[in-house]
Structure 1
């Protein structure tokens, strides 16, 4: 994803989708491959409907680990890439790169971060080049390539309180002023990190709208967004014996099991589907879900309720 060729391949690969009702049955191998990728639910747009935001030149996507931030970020990039191609045509967009995706390395200096921007578009960087020279090459090439959207992931790794972190934050500010593109940042709980403190943090926060990918609530007024999410995921299953409505009925259990984290929920349903295909049951049940081991955060949160001891049971 962190090179143009890689991102372009991702953006142009058809999204995994369930077969239409009149389509011939797919083989076990095809359905295993499908559920290993599974359907992508665009949670960023769902979350955005419930949050007030003003039109600003950049966006920050934040939330806990496992909330689906990177998945949402990449889907936004895919949509932008495909929309650009549809609008202008494949021939007219040859040699252009409407979307850039950059991953912030741990403890990255400004020069290392600039090199990451250069690497995405294959800009040659030599050992003797200064940070300013690399930055100039990046700004020139990104502009020439028609980059419209720059996505910067793992932004929480920047700490403006350190010398290298401050310089990296300044580099990003410089790039936003010199590249005519919309910038979207994503990171873990960035509002609680030094990224939003001090003069540099205030500049970043003042230029960006915030979408908080917190855990999905079980209820939101009269709505049940988590149950709606489960219904959408169940509708995407390609299984011969699964009973429609089974997973929405398990919404309270699934919310407790995953702490409302979209990434954990998707992993749980995906692994349960693959298990059901392999063992031949072709349906997901509470028993199937109980047998799946999830990520550490979800397992730490989940405390299964034990059944009350019978009155007739003797206690040693």
Structure 2
């Protein structure tokens, strides 16, 4: 999954991971908090990664101690063994643009990651910023990675048609249903006025919408109101990428006006 910063790549990947983990635990007949399995592995690629840095990051995620004398292949052997025992079947690799394959350490790290994922019977999701323009998919190593992956270009939601607005409302409704608030009236965020407002605030970004509603919900819990409304949303400070795209004019109103002019 590729796209600009803040568009919601990590949010999408983690939602996919949560859904996959829930399904796999149900298949195995295990409760959601059972420590016997870990269907999903989530890894954030550190900047300037070396093969050992990558393997140690995974080992720490699963709680595997790494003796100082272990090299990257040894750590990988133990990590793979543990993940097979934990029945890991999905691997999410975030911030993968940090792998600089035009440098020897980065190329070695990418090769190690490729070997690691091939040793597990697991679906692999790579997330990163503008991956088609990064070193990761360039050169010989890049060709090997491209031959084994499909690129999904993650973009912001548009709002210029009735179908686009309907898709945006469905997204808002899905996130609203997840709000852990006792007094929040379900459906209050999907009215035309509020869906316009939310799109204007976030520019159609899934990540910005998630942060906006999440921060508003936290504030609602702390203040005791237990609901998200326009006043509470106005108090949330958003990321600068979303702020730069904000507008005060309702998008549905502008699109409807444009369509009327076209008809005339």
Verify same fold: TM over 0.5. yes
Aligned residue among 162, 171, 182 for 2:103: 162
Q: Tell me: CA distance 1:62–1:95, structure 2 relative to 1, closer, same or farther (3 Å).
A: same
* Alignment partners' CA distance in 1, 2:228 and 2:202: 20
Unaligned runs of 5+ in 2: 250-264
Higher helix share: 2
Mark the CA change 1:165 to 1:290 in structure 2 (over 3 Å): closer, same or farther: same
Q: 1:226 to 1:127 in 2, by over 3 A?
A: same
Alpha-carbon spacing, 1:189–1:247, altered in 2? closer, same or farther (3 Å): farther
Aligned-residue RMSD, C-alpha: 3.1
- Residues 173, 187 of structure 2: 8 Å contact kept: no
**Alignment CA distance shift 1:96-1:201 (3 Å):** same
The separation in 2 between residues aligned to 1:115 and 1:221, in whole angstroms, is 49
| Match runs of 1:92-107 below 5 Å | 95-107=36-48
When residues 170 and 223 of structure 1 are mapped into structure 2, their CA distance, relative to the original with a 3 A threshold, is same
Judge conservation of contact 2:11–2:206 (CA < 8 Å) in 1.
Answer: no
The answer to whether the aligner puts 1:295 opposite 2:239 as a matched pair is yes
Residues in 1 aligned to 2:229 and 2:157: alpha-carbon distance in whole angstroms: 22
| Counterpart position of 1:133 | 74
CA distance in 2, matches of 1:194, 1:180: 27
Q: Find the counterpart in structure 2 of residue 187 from structure 1.
A: 128
Secondary structure, aligned partner of 1:107: coil
Gaps of 5+ in 1: 1-60, 306-316
2:172–2:189 CA contact under 8 A, matched in 1: no
Give the alignment's TM-score, normalised by structure 1. Answer: 0.66
Match of 2:154 in 1: 213
Q: Secondary structure at the match of 2:87?
A: coil
How far is 1:163 from its partner? 1.2
3-state SS in 2 of match to 1:147: coil
Task: Note the 1:57-72 alignment, pairs <5 A.
Answer: 61-72=1-12
Q: Distance in 1 between matches of 2:71 and 2:195?
A: 55
Partner of 2:201: 257
Q: Measure how far apart 1:293 and its partner are.
A: 2.1
Indicate whether 1:200 and 2:141 are aligned.
yes
Displaced runs of 4 or more, over 6 A: none
Q: Deviations over 1:162-193 (max 9, x none)?
A: 11110111001111222222211112222221
Q: Counterpart of 2:229?
A: 284
Which of 66-75 and 234-243 deviates more? 234-243
Higher-Rg structure is 1
Q: 1:226 to 1:142 in 2, by over 3 A?
A: same
**TM-score of the superposed pair, with normalisation by structure 2:** 0.77
Equivalent of 1:87, from 14, 24, 27?
A: 27
Report the CA distance shift for 1:219/1:203 in structure 2 as closer, same or farther (over 3 A): farther
Tell me, yes or no, if the aligned pair for 2:2 and 2:153 is still in contact at 8 Å. Answer: yes
In structure 2, the residue matched to 1:226 is 168
CA distance, structure 1, for counterparts of residue 3 and residue 169 of structure 2: 20
Q: Is the 8 A contact 1:155 1:185 kept in 2?
A: yes
| Partner residue in 1 for 2:260 | none
C-alpha change, 1:231 and 1:74, in structure 2 (3 Å) is closer
